[in-house]
């Protein structure tokens, strides 16, 4: 009985020691946890097509930021309830003697990284669900707004490329066309019936690869699964992926099919160099054909909310970028997989409003555009900092730009601003400028005037699992003296 009591006391002391150590060991600023989420950039209205004579006499830009978004939404209703928005009110003027009809576009960003693009409960895509509560008006009357999509190149908005990608029909290309032939080759590592297996006990992270010299230019290779690349002495490119027995993968040849089958070689863990070959093989298990249009529309459906034209043109733009990255090998360097899932593809698309206005000669009109506005979130500060970006430079494409007034309706503090001159008001902040400012509008907001980053400690760089292990070990070390420690603590408390 006495031994059992002693054992319980020792276990309790070990737990006490761990509890005492953990608060000292846990980092105040944990690197292992995500602290940053990207937001979106809005840019204002622009004209599609050739130079337009319409002038902007005045723009009133209003940012309504009554709340910060959550970096995680548990329900669709919560996400759609977010009220952050940007409103651009324009006074347009037609200085000519002719009636001018123009198509305008207003890019307002991709979906933020903290927003889901598919609601499993309702089975619907959310590509434009957050825009339904907003409208575009001309002289106070709502007009039709169309949601268009283009690829967002490397998550950096490129105005000229984006405008060029807004087509009414399929974009033309010297090589890729809707009916271009595509041959799909499917392989399995280790052989279909494990006829040429890799020794996984010895090589648990083997690589399988093939050499490709670019061919004669009649084909483009699309290998979305590849993970490694090496340039060989003879100039060939060696493309590979980490794999184990039974791994199935596909490779696409766009254009003329392969005249000779690809020859795969297996390499030791992490290797793909000559001299690192190991036993094992890759077997071709099937081929099939489709058109380039069918390939890029594999994940498309009307339910995505994106038109066939925009989906095709965004895919084509990605293939062009992938080819331009390495024209020597005629290989699509695709750090994307248009076949992976619709949600993944949608996450990289820039969203645009598209609408039409008509101005009689020497006339003005008032045009008001409202769109959701999402910040980048940095929870590495206490309290968190949200950064909102509105790109002003595209407005320089107008024939003339007059006054700019910016109002920020918010209960929060502007901690940093790319533009000087904001004046504090009862409702937030206000800035008035004549002409278009140099640079973009970037505002950092926080619930505090001086948000702080917690100081980094040595343990900030130690993974939690290691901290927990060290804490348990320390507790075990203290186990022997635990009874004495507990006794002293109890005695001290009694004396107090």
424 and 293 in a single domain? The answer is no
- Is 451 a domain residue? no
* Maximum C-alpha span of the chain: 105
205 and 218 in a single domain? The answer is yes
pLDDT of residue 111: 84
- Tell me the C-alpha to C-alpha distance, in Å, between residue 257 and each of 69, 219, 333: 50, 7, 19
- Is 64 a domain residue? yes
Q: Region 416-445: what's the mean pLDDT?
A: 93
294 and 261 in a single domain? The answer is yes
- Is 128 a domain residue? yes
Distance CA 448, CA 438 (A): 28
Give the model confidence (pLDDT) of 382-404 as tens digits. 999 999 999 887 788 788 999 99
**For the chain, what is the radius of gyration of the CA atoms?**
30
Residue 480 CA, distance from chain mean position: 53
- Nearest to 374, CA basis, from 364, 389, 359: 389
Q: Structural domain of residue 273, as residue ranges?
A: 166-343
| 12 pLDDT higher than 60 | no
pLDDT of residue 117: 82
- Is 124 a domain residue? yes
Q: Which segment of 111-125, 225-239, 293-307, 342-356 scores lowest on mean pLDDT?
A: 111-125
Total domains in the fold of the chain? 3
At 476, the pLDDT band (50, 70, 90 cuts) reads very low
- Is 490 a domain residue? yes
- Nearest to 56, CA basis, from 21, 26, 4, 91: 91
CATH of the domain at 372: 2.60.40.3680
Give the model confidence (pLDDT) of 279-338 as tens digits. 999 999 999 999 999 999 999 999 999 999 999 999 999 888 887 665 678 888 765 677
- Is 465 a domain residue? no
189 and 298 in a single domain? The answer is yes
- Is 463 a domain residue? no
321 and 191 in a single domain? The answer is yes
Q: Region 341-370: what's the mean pLDDT?
A: 92
Give the model confidence (pLDDT) of 207-250 as tens digits. 999 999 888 889 999 998 888 888 888 888 899 999 899 999 99
Three-state DSSP class for residue 23: helix
- Percentage, residues of the chain above pLDDT 70: 79
Paired tokens of 270 = 């992490």
- Percentage, residues of the chain above pLDDT 90: 54
131 and 258 in a single domain? The answer is no
Distance CA 346, CA 306 (A): 9
Distance CA 480, CA 6 (A): 11
- What does pTM read for this prediction? 0.79
185 and 320 in a single domain? The answer is yes
51 and 179 in a single domain? The answer is no
Three-state DSSP class for residue 333: coil
227 and 209 in a single domain? The answer is yes
**Of 261 and 486, which is predicted with more confidence?**
261
- Is 199 a domain residue? yes
- Domain final position from 308, 325, 343: 343
Three-state DSSP class for residue 50: coil
CB 434 within 8 A of CB 400: no
- Domain final position from 324, 343, 362: 343
Distance CA 42, CA 85 (A): 10
| 493 pLDDT higher than 60 | no
| 193 pLDDT higher than 50 | yes
Three-state DSSP class for residue 371: strand
**Of 64 and 117, which is predicted with more confidence?**
64
Distance CA 300, CA 346 (A): 10
Q: Which segment of 260-264, 382-386, 460-464 scores lowest on mean pLDDT?
A: 460-464
DSSP designation for 382:
B
Distance CA 464, CA 446 (A): 29
- Domain final position from 289, 315, 343: 343
Three-state DSSP class for residue 460: helix
Side-chain-side CA neighbours of residue 216 (13 Å): 7
86 and 184 in a single domain? The answer is no
338 and 248 in a single domain? The answer is yes
Distance CA 360, CA 490 (A): 89
CB 78 within 8 A of CB 85: no
CB 114 within 8 A of CB 73: yes
At 439, the pLDDT band (50, 70, 90 cuts) reads confident
CB atoms within 10 A of CB 286: 12
Distance CA 380, CA 36 (A): 7
Across all residues in the chain, what is the average pLDDT?
Answer: 82
pLDDT of residue 43: 62
357 and 268 in a single domain? The answer is no
């Amino acid at each position: 009985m006495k031994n059992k009591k002693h054992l319980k006391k020792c276990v309790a002391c070990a737990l006490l020691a761990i509890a005492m150590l953990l608060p000292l060991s846990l980092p105040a600023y944990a690197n292992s946890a995500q602290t940053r989420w990207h937001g979106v950039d809005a840019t204002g209205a622009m004209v599609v097509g050739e130079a337009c004579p319409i002038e902007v006499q005045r723009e009133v830009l209003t940012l309504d930021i009554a709340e910060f978004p959550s970096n995680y939404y548990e329900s669709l209703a919560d996400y759609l309830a977010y009220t952050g928005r940007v409103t651009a009110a324009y006074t347009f003027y037609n200085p000519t003697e002719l009636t001018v009809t123009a198509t305008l576009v207003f890019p307002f960003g991709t979906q933020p990284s903290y927003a889901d693009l598919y609601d499993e409960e309702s089975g619907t895509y959310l590509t434009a669900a957050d825009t339904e509560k907003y409208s575009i008006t001309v002289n106070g009357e709502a007009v039709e707004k169309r949601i268009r999509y283009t690829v967002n190149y490397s998550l950096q908005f490129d105005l000229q490329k984006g405008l060029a990608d807004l087509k009414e029909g399929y974009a033309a290309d010297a090589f890729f066309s809707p009916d271009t032939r595509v041959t799909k080759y499917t392989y399995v590592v280790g052989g279909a019936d494990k006829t040429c297996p890799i020794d996984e006990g010895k090589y648990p992270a083997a690589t399988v690869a093939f050499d490709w010299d670019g061919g004669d230019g009649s084909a483009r290779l699309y290998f979305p699964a590849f993970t490694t690349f090496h340039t060989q002495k003879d100039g060939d490119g060696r493309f590979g992926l980490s794999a184990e027995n039974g791994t199935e993968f596909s490779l696409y040849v766009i254009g003329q099919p392969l005249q000779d089958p690809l020859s795969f070689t297996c390499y030791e863990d992490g290797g793909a160099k000559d001299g690192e070959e190991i036993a094992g093989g890759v077997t071709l298990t099937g081929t099939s054909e489709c058109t380039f249009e069918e390939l890029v529309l594999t994940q498309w459906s009307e339910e995505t909310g994106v038109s066939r034209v925009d989906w095709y043109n965004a895919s084509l733009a990605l293939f062009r970028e992938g080819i331009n990255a390495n024209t020597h090998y005629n290989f699509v360097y695709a750090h994307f997989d248009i076949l992976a899932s619709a949600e993944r593809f949608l996450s990289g698309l820039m969203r645009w409003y598209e609408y039409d206005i008509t101005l009689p000669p020497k006339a003005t009109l008032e045009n008001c555009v409202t769109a959701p506005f999402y910040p980048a979130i940095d929870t590495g500060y206490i309290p968190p900092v949200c950064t909102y970006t509105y790109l002003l430079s595209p407005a320089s494409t107008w024939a003339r730009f007059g006054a700019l007034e910016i109002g920020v309706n918010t209960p929060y503090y502007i901690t940093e601003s790319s533009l000087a001159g904001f004046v504090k008001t009862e409702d937030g902040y206000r800035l008035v400028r004549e002409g278009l400012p140099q640079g973009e509008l970037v505002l950092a907001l926080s619930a505090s005037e001086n948000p702080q980053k917690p100081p980094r400690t040595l343990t900030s760089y130690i993974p939690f699992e290691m901290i927990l292990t060290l804490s348990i070990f320390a507790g075990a070390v203290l186990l022997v003296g635990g009874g004495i420690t507990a006794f002293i603590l109890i005695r001290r408390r009694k004396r107090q």
